[in-house]
């Protein structure tokens, strides 16, 4: 039976509409980042494309050029411009910090979680199930509940305002979900496969490294994307536990001040912040193929 | 190549004992099939031999060496799993070479062994494919190839054909048997399919509830079942069993059951009044054309081609007879059936053991 044309059209229309709803904020944000201030703030009409594109916002936030030098001291609301020649809108270090933290915590989480998930999936030990529940219980509590003790602990341990500190705290939040996810991927691989490897002469470590690990590559990639995106966008913990080191979400909020908000800069840094995340996902997505274990077993 | 011995082997999970002291000697080069219904412990026994399950009690030896505490990788065994358990991310060649790669065998030898195995299993054209690009039968052959390249002491098969379709199963059955005749490696094969057991085995070991019920050649267990369980488990359709009491009619022993008097072989070691189970296989229940025999009412006729299964009602009990004749039987009509005396089995109603002939 052929689907009637109007139905097909309707389906496409619905799909396009939904996509547009989700894409519009990103589009508008990107558009804002290349608008001059008078186009961003125009109280008479909404400016769509009727403006002179400018890269000033990018030159300030990601190239580190001085805003006053670029605009003769009259960009934006003008009142929050760099004091004493220092460019407080320079996002270059923040981008580097954010990348270090997101990549670091993702790698750390994956290494620990793969080991934990393998043990939970493949080995029987006392309290196996209880341990799993305990791991999950970390997620029951909102991070804000532990933030005050964390601030004090981090101060005493000298981890406050360090990359390592934020890497650890992001890993702490990500670990439970990563362990559970990876465990479910591991559970999908029949134990017979490990056992076949052992009978073939592999030690447990070899069967893990040469047989099991390559088979959960897709699962690891998916988990890594989740961890990366969480760390990349996390705000609260980073805000409390850092002052010099700033991650992008925290840095961007400093552009909103009591004397005015630099929407052009916010949009430019926000748009730039999408790029590393986008590249990371692009890199791992080729591993995100379904059915990696296909062919190991009958079905 | 090696012999295998189970000496009073016990397996428990916590307080539940699933194998109760298994004793079994497997001669070097034999093809032994462990046969039994689900949950009888046959797979557990095999996995204990492989080293995948811990041995709770007793000793398992391969080639005279006790292997209770030997890691699977050091037992020099090869195993084919029910679900194939292939390494999905490797090609067929890599799958087969895996064990040798681990042992750091030189490339030329690996190449030679893999090609040899591929030739035996007709996998030469598929060596560079991944398992997902193969059919079920080909995957099963890869699993077998992975086993034979290593030249192991013992082959273990854990229901390897149960995932294949009927036609392929018959074909692979023959291939496995051929392979065994060629390689003459000691083989332990687990299945719940009696046809597989009968066709492939040198020795069939029939198990139930963690015990061995009977050990024998396929024809021994078929012709001389040691007890009621074996008699009913082997053979399809199953043996007809009628419960009754030994009586006497015209000086000859009979079985009095349901108002009938079935003839009992005169050389049976029974006494009058003994409660027994009377067993006769469907193919040993012949239609009688000379008036003797018992009257039954046909309920269903199932022609299979070479033979016809006749299900009939014998004084309220359903029985089955097999005939190679092509007569126009009709449901609801009567049929006179006569058991062949030399093929009648009697089992004690209490112990369920077979009653011996004198």
Q: pLDDT tens digits for A10-40?
A: 999 999 999 999 999 999 889 988 888 777 8
Choose among A131, A143, A151: nearest CA to A242.
A151
Q: Who among B73, B89, B133 is closest to A201 (CB)?
A: B73
Residues 6+ apart with CB under 8 A from A41: A263
User: Which tokens go with B251?
Assistant: 């000086």
Cα B159 to Cα A108: distance, rounded to the nearest angstrom: 42
Q: Who among B52, B73, B84 is closest to A297 (CB)?
A: B84
Q: Do B87 and A296 touch (CB under 8 A)?
A: yes
Chain A touched by B89 (CB under 8 Å): yes
Domain boundaries, chain A: 93-285
What is the pLDDT, as a whole number, of residue B46? 95
* Regions of chain B short of the pLDDT cut 70: 1
Query: B4-224 — its CATH code?
Result: 3.40.50.300
A81 has pLDDT over 50 = no
Residues 6+ apart with CB under 8 A from B71: A198, B51
B131 chain-A contacts, CB cut-off 8 A: 294-296
Q: Which residue of B has its CA nearest to A190?
A: B85
Q: Do A294 and B88 touch (CB under 8 A)?
A: yes
Choose among B3, B140, B147: nearest CA to B79.
B147
Neighbouring CB atoms inside 10 A of A56's CB total: 21
What is the pLDDT, as a whole number, of residue A40? 80
For chain B, residues classed under CATH 2.40.50.140 are 240-348
Q: Which residue has the tokens 């190549």?
A: B1
User: Which tokens go with B207?
Assistant: 């198990």
The CA distance from B105 to the nearest CA of chain A, in Å, is 12
Cα A266 to Cα B56: distance, rounded to the nearest angstrom: 68
Q: Do B83 and A298 touch (CB under 8 A)?
A: yes
Largest Cα separation within chain B, whole Å, is: 81
What is the pLDDT, as a whole number, of residue B77? 93
Confidence of residue A246 (pLDDT cuts 50, 70, 90): confident
For chain B, residues classed under CATH 3.40.50.300 are 4-224
Distances (CA, A) of B308 to A64, A258, B240, B284: 92, 96, 16, 13
Residue A47 burial (CB < 10 Å; 0-12/13-18/19+)? middle
A72 has pLDDT over 60 = no
A295 chain-B contacts, CB cut-off 8 A: 86, 88, 130-134, 139
- Secondary structure (3-state) at A131: helix
What ipTM, to 2 d.p.?
0.82
The CA distance from B353 to the nearest CA of chain A, in Å, is 38
Cα B246 to Cα B355: distance, rounded to the nearest angstrom: 13
The CATH superfamily label for domain B240-348 reads Nucleic acid-binding proteins (2.40.50.140)
Ranked by mean pLDDT, the top range of A143-147, A223-227, B260-264 is A223-227
Contacts with A, B 11-70, CB within 8 Å: 50-52
The CA distance from B32 to the nearest CA of chain A, in Å, is 20
Give the mean pLDDT of A176-190.
Answer: 90
What is the pLDDT, as a whole number, of residue B137? 85
Distances (CA, A) of A56 to A34, A81, A86, A242: 8, 14, 17, 29
The CA distance from A293 to the nearest CA of chain B, in Å, is 5
For A262-288, what is each residue's pLDDT tens digit?
Answer: 888 888 888 888 888 888 888 887 776
Neighbouring CB atoms inside 10 A of A224's CB total: 24
Find how far residue A221's CA is from the centre of its chain: 13
- CATH top-level class of A93-285: mainly alpha
Q: Which residue of B has its CA nearest to A198?
A: B73
Contact B27, B187 (CB under 8 A): no
Q: Do B85 and A215 touch (CB under 8 A)?
A: no
Cis peptide before B237 (omega within 30 of 0): yes
Q: Who among B52, B78, B143 is closest to A195 (CB)?
A: B52
What is the pLDDT, as a whole number, of residue B223? 93
Contacts with A, B 102-161, CB within 8 Å: 102-103, 130-134, 136, 139, 143, 146, 150
- Secondary structure (3-state) at B132: helix
The CA distance from A294 to the nearest CA of chain B, in Å, is 6
Q: Which residue has the tokens 């894409």?
A: A23
Cα B198 to Cα A156: distance, rounded to the nearest angstrom: 75
H-helix or E-strand spanning residue A187: helix A163-187
Confidence of residue A87 (pLDDT cuts 50, 70, 90): low
């Amino acid at each position: 039976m052929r689907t009637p044309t109007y139905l097909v059209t309707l389906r496409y229309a619905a799909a396009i509409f939904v996509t547009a709803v989700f894409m519009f904020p990103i589009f508008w944000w990107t558009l804002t980042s290349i608008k001059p201030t008078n186009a961003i703030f125009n109280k008479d009409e909404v400016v769509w494309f009727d403006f002179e594109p400018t890269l000033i916002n990018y030159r300030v936030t990601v190239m580190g050029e001085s805003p006053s030098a670029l605009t003769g001291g009259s960009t934006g609301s003008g009142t929050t411009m760099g004091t004493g020649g220092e460019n407080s809108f320079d996002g270059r270090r923040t981008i580097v910090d954010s990348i270090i933290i997101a990549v670091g915590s993702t790698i750390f989480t994956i290494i620990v979680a793969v080991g934990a998930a393998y043990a939970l999936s493949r080995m029987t030990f006392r309290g196996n199930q209880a341990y799993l529940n305990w791991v999950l219980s970390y997620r029951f509590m909102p991070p804000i509940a532990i933030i005050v003790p964390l601030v004090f602990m981090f101060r005493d341990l000298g981890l406050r305002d360090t990359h390592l500190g934020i890497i650890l705290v992001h890993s702490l939040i990500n670990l439970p979900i990563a362990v559970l996810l990876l465990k479910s991927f591991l559970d999908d691989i029949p134990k017979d496969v490990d056992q076949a490897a052992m009978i073939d002469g592999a030690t447990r470590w070899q069967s893990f490294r040469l047989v099991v690990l390559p088979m959960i590559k897709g699962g690891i990639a998916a988990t890594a994307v989740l961890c990366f995106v969480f760390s990349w966008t996390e705000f609260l913990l980073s805000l409390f536990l850092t002052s010099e080191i700033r991650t992008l979400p925290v840095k961007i909020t400093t552009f909103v001040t009591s004397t005015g908000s630099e929407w052009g800069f916010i949009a430019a840094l926000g748009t730039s912040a999408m790029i590393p995340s986008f590249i990371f996902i692009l890199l791992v997505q080729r591993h995100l193929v379904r059915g990696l274990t296909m062919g190991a077993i009958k079905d | 190549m090696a012999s295998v011995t189970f000496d009073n082997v016990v397996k428990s999970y916590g307080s539940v004992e699933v194998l109760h002291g298994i004793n079994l000697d497997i001669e070097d080069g034999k093809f032994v099939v462990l046969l039994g219904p689900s949950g009888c412990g046959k797979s557990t026994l095999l996995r204990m031999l492989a080293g995948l399950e811990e041995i709770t009690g007793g000793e398992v030896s391969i080639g005279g060496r006790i292997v209770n505490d030997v890691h699977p990788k050091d037992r020099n065994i090869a195993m084919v799993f029910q679900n194939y358990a292939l390494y999905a991310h490797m090609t067929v060649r890599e799958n087969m070479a895996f064990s040798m790669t681990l042992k750091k065998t030189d490339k030329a030898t690996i190449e030679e062994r893999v090609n040899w195995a591929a030739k035996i299993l007709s996998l030469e054209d598929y060596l560079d494919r991944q398992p997902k690009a193969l059919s079920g039968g080909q995957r099963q052959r890869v699993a077998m190839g992975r086993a034979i390249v290593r030249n192991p002491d013992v082959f273990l098969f854990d229901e390897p054909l149960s995932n294949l379709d009927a036609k392929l199963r018959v074909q692979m059955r023959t291939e496995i048997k051929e392979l065994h005749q060629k390689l003459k490696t000691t083989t332990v094969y687990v299945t719940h399919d009696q046809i597989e057991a009968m066709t492939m085995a040198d020795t069939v070991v029939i198990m139930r509830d963690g015990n061995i019920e009977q050990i024998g050649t396929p024809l021994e267990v078929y012709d001389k079942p040691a007890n009621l369980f074996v008699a009913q488990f082997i053979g399809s359709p199953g043996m007809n069993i009628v419960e009754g009491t030994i009586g006497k009619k015209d000086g000859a022993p009979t079985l009095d059951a349901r108002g009938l008097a079935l003839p009992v072989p005169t050389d049976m070691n029974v006494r009058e009044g003994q409660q027994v189970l009377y067993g006769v296989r469907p193919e040993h229940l012949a239609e009688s054309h000379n008036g003797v025999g018992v009257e039954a009412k046909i309920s269903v006729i199932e022609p299979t081609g070479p033979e016809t299964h006749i299900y009939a009602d014998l004084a309220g009990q359903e029985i089955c007879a097999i005939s190679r004749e092509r007569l126009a039987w009709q449901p609801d009509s009567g049929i006179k059936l006569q058991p062949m005396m030399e093929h009648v089995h009697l089992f004690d109603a209490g112990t369920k053991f077979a009653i011996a002939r004198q």
